[in-house]
Structure 1
Amino acid sequence: MPFRGLANGLACAAAFAVVALGAPAPAAAHPFGDPQTVAITSDPARPDVVRVNWKVGGLDDLTVLGVSLGLLPRERVLLDGAVFYQDSDAAALGPSPQFAAYLLEQVTVASDGRPCTGVVTPPDDLAWAGASIDYTCSGPVSVVSVAVGTLTDLDPAYRTLATGPGGARAIYTADASVHEWTLGAGGDARLGRSAALQIAAVAGGLLSAAVAVLLVLRHRRRRAAIPLTT
C-alpha cells in the first residue's frame, strides 16, 4: 500500500546512530520498538499532588539509558548498535541518584505557570512496573502542563504514549514535548486540549495526503486517456 511504504520510508530516514564523543558516551538508541509510556493521575487524598508513572518501552532501552548515564559499561552496546540487556540492568538504574535526577530533569509538571516539585519513588520493579514521580504543586490542581523528554535526548525519533484521567490520550515527541491535562472537575469528560489538537492535526494530515494521491492518480489517468495526434 502507498501509505505503508511512505511510513516505512520516513521511519528509515529518521533512524541514525548516536556518535560517541567523550565519556560516558551515549549508546545507540532503538526508538522504533515498543514506545515508552507515561500515566498522569491525581491523588484524591492530596489535591495538590500530580503523579506521573514512567515506563520504558523496550528493556534494551534501559540498557541504552544506563550506558548514557554512566551506570553500565559501554561495551554493553556494540558499534553496530546491538544492545545486550541483562536482568541486572533495571536493578542498577532503579535506586541510582543519576536515574532519579534524569527523570526529574526530563519529566516536569507546572500548575498555574508555577513548577511543581517532584520526588521519585525508588522503583520495586523498574523493568515491568516503571517508576513513579509525585509532584507537589502550590495548591489544588485543576489543569497541569506536563513535559516529557525521556529518551528523546538520545534520539528524537522516540515516542511516548501518555494517558490521563477518563481515558485522555496524548503522544509526546521531541517536537511536541508539552501537553496540558485536566485533572480537576470535568477532566474525565474530555481530552487534554493539546492532545485533542494533535489528534485533529494528524487526521487532517492524513486526509490531505489521501486527497493529494487521488489528484495525482486522476491526472495520470486523464493524460493516458488523451489520444496522440500527429
Structure 2
Amino acid sequence: MKIHARTLAGALLVCVLAGWATPAAAHPFGPPSTARIEADGSHVTLSWLPAEDDWVALGQSLGAFEDPSTGTVSTELTGEQKLERSTALRDYLLEKITVAQAGRPCESRLEELRALLADGARFVFDCRSPVTEVDVTVAALTDLNTAYRTMLVANTATPGQTLFTEAQTTQRLTFSATGATGIPAQTTAVVAAAVVLVGAGAFTVLRTRRRTRTMS
C-alpha cells in the first residue's frame, strides 16, 4: 500500500476509535464523490471513489466497524481493512451501483476491494450486446444524506460528465460505436486511409513492373 493510502487507513481507524464514524461526520455538502466509466465491447467498467470520511460513514451505517460505545474496538485491522472485508459493504455497493441495457440489468461483478481509499470500488458489468446506450445508476450514500452527489466522468460517452443526486440516481449514457471497442474514430479513419494508400501504391508498382517486362 502506498504511503498516502497508509495514512488514510490510519486516519480511518482513528475516526472509528473516536466514535466519529456516523453519517453526520461525513461531508455530504463538500465536493461530490467521483466515478469513471468506460465501455469495451459488451463490457462496462466503473470505478467509484468517495472521500475517506464518507467511507467511514458508510462503514458505520453497514456495521463494518465495532461500536466504541458498546464494546471494545479491535485494532488488529485498520478501518480500511475492515471495510474491505465487509460482506455488507459489497452487497450494498452491488445494489446501489448498477448498469442496465435496454431495460435489462447487466451482470455485475465487484472486484476485490483492495487499497479501497486510494483506488475506490471497481465494478465490471457484462451486458448482452455491444454497449452503445446504457442506463447507469449510482445511488450510494444518498440513503445516508440526500445532499450526497457523485460526478461520473466518461471519455467516450455522451454526456461526458454526469451528476448523480438523490433526485436523479439513474442517467442514460450513449457511447460512441468506436468507444465501445476502445479505438478512437480518428484512428480508425487514419488506418483506413493508410490501407487505401498502400494498396494503391502496390497496384501502381505492380503495373510498372509488368510494363517494364513487356517492353523488354
Do the structures match in fold with TM over 0.5? yes
TM-score bracket, normalised by the shorter chain, equals 0.5 to 0.7
- Of 141, 166, 172, 1:174 maps to 166
Q: Which has the higher contact order (CA 8 A, sep 6+)?
A: 2
**Partner of 1:101 in structure 2?**
91
* Larger radius of gyration between Structure 1 and Structure 2: 2
**Partner of 1:69 in structure 2?**
62
**Partner of 1:34 in structure 2?**
31
Secondary structure in 1 matching 2:42: strand
8 A contact 2:136–2:170 mirrored in 1: yes
8 A contact 1:62–1:89 mirrored in 2: no
Secondary structure in 2 matching 1:74: coil
Where does 1:4-153 land on structure 2 (aligned, <5 Å)? 27-28=23-24, 29-43=26-40, 47-56=41-50, 58-75=51-68, 88-153=78-143
Q: Could you tell me how far apart the structure 2 residues matched to 1:75 and 1:34 are?
A: 29
User: What do the CA deviations read for 1:157-204 (whole angstroms, capped 9, x no partner)?
Assistant: 001011012470010000011111122416689xxxxxxxxxxxxxxx
Report the TM-score when normalising by structure 2.
Answer: 0.64
Flag the 1:145–1:62 CA change in 2: closer, same or farther, 3 A. same
Following TM superposition, the consecutive aligned residue runs of length 4 or more in structure 1 with deviations greater than 4 angstroms are 186-189
Flag the 1:95–1:49 CA change in 2: closer, same or farther, 3 A. farther
Identity %: 36
8 A contact 2:38–2:156 mirrored in 1: no
Q: Could you tell me how far apart the structure 2 residues matched to 1:181 and 1:137 are?
A: 14
Q: Could you tell me how far apart the structure 1 residues matched to 2:54 and 2:67 are?
A: 14
Amino acid at match of 1:41: E
Superposed displacement of residue 66, structure 1: 0.7
Superposed displacement of residue 136, structure 1: 0.8
Secondary structure in 2 matching 1:147: strand
8 A contact 2:147–2:165 mirrored in 1: yes
Report the TM-score when normalising by structure 1.
Answer: 0.60
**Partner of 1:225 in structure 2?**
none
Q: In angstroms, what is the RMSD of aligned CA positions?
A: 2.3
The number of equivalent residue pairs is 151
Secondary structure in 2 matching 1:101: helix
Flag the 1:68–1:148 CA change in 2: closer, same or farther, 3 A. same
8 A contact 1:145–1:180 mirrored in 2: yes
Superposed displacement of residue 96, structure 1: 2.2
